[in-house]
Amino acid sequence: MTPPRRGAGATIERPARRPAPEPARAGRPPTERRFRERRNAVARDAGRRRLAVLGTVLAVLALAVSAVAIVHTSLFAARHVVVSGERHTSAAAILAASGLDNAPPLIDVHTGQVAAAVERLPWVAHAAVQREWPETVRITVREAAPIAFAEVAGGTVLLDGRGRVLEALRAGSPPPAHLVPLGRLAAPAPGGTLPARELPVLAVAGALPLSTLAQLTALVHEPNLGVVGVLRSGAQVIFGSAAELPAKMVALVTLLKSTSIGKSARLDLRVPAAPVLTR
């Protein structure tokens, strides 16, 4: 059979064409573009937050620097110094020792250092320093109590229980009657402290009952005996060390009341439970 010829009524079938893809609608970005825009938006938000935090930190730092600068100016200077508790030491001497007489900034006032400086004054046993904003420093002192006096080259000095020289009396000025006489010593200037070997003498002086002071003419330290008291009668009372002082004082008062102690007598209280009286 002969194939049909073109134009002789035969038909040629052609494959159907696929429809062209529909173009993307205007205003609707593809997925990748949307993700990119989202990432950019997140990055911008994070940057704005970082800038906000940085601005806050810088503002706080600026305020802190300004505050520090202000409190170091004369606006907050220690212009008022209030001193209390002084008797033998003048407020002017305390102010000079404190170093606050030039009105430094209150924030630069170190209370511990000021207290230590004031406590170097002879009569001051303790000093408490307190800052009170905006311009006041309060200094409260507790002065030492003298318990003994000693004869030194050029006069008489008063001593407290720590062996500190509180004051040098004027020539011809009698010491207070209630103080214990220590005889003649090589004492330092006021504010100084006696050598350690003399401290047991002061411990005994501080423990002596007032009723015994009128009978005592001197309290001294002897190398072989320790602390020795000399009575007005000439008799000696050997205390030895500063141990068991309450018991030694009870024995002393009891024997002074009950026994006549002659001029050459020696009362040994080194063992207070068994005192020995040698006539």
Query: Are the CB atoms for 202 and 159 separated by under 8 Å?
Result: yes
Taking the C-alpha atoms of residue 133 and residue 278, their distance in angstroms, rounded to an integer, is 67
Tell me the whole-structure pTM to 2 decimals: 0.70
Taking the C-alpha atoms of residue 186 and residue 119, their distance in angstroms, rounded to an integer, is 23
Say yes or no to pLDDT of 242 above 70.
yes
Give the pLDDT score at 7: 47
Query: What CATH number does the domain located at 74-143 have?
Result: 3.10.20.310
Confidence of residue 19 (pLDDT cuts 50, 70, 90): low
* Average pLDDT, integer, range 196-203: 92
Q: What is the pLDDT of residues 126-151, one digit of tens each?
A: 999 999 988 999 999 999 999 999 99
**Fold annotation for 148-278:** Rossmann fold (3.40.50)
Give the pLDDT score at 113: 96
DSSP code, position 58: H
Q: What is the pLDDT of residues 160-185, one digit of tens each?
A: 999 999 999 988 888 888 899 998 88
Q: What is the pLDDT of residues 43-73, one digit of tens each?
A: 777 777 777 777 777 767 666 655 555 555 5
Give the pLDDT score at 74: 59
Mean pLDDT over the full length of the chain? 85
List the chain domain ranges.
Answer: 74-143, 148-278
* Average pLDDT, integer, range 256-269: 87
Strand order across the 80-84 sheet: 80-84, 136-143, 124-132
Q: Is the model more confident about 45 or about 94? A: 94
- The most confident of 37-46, 171-180, 211-220, by mean pLDDT: 211-220
Q: What is the pLDDT of residues 97-124, one digit of tens each?
A: 999 988 898 988 999 999 999 999 999 9
Neighbouring CB atoms inside 10 A of 211's CB total 11
Both tokens of residue 270?
Answer: 């080194």
Give the pLDDT score at 88: 94
- Give, in degrees to the nearest 5, the angle at Cα 9 between 8 and 15: 115
How many percent of the chain have pLDDT more than 90? 53
Query: Are the CB atoms for 235 and 267 separated by under 8 Å?
Result: yes
Give the pLDDT score at 72: 52
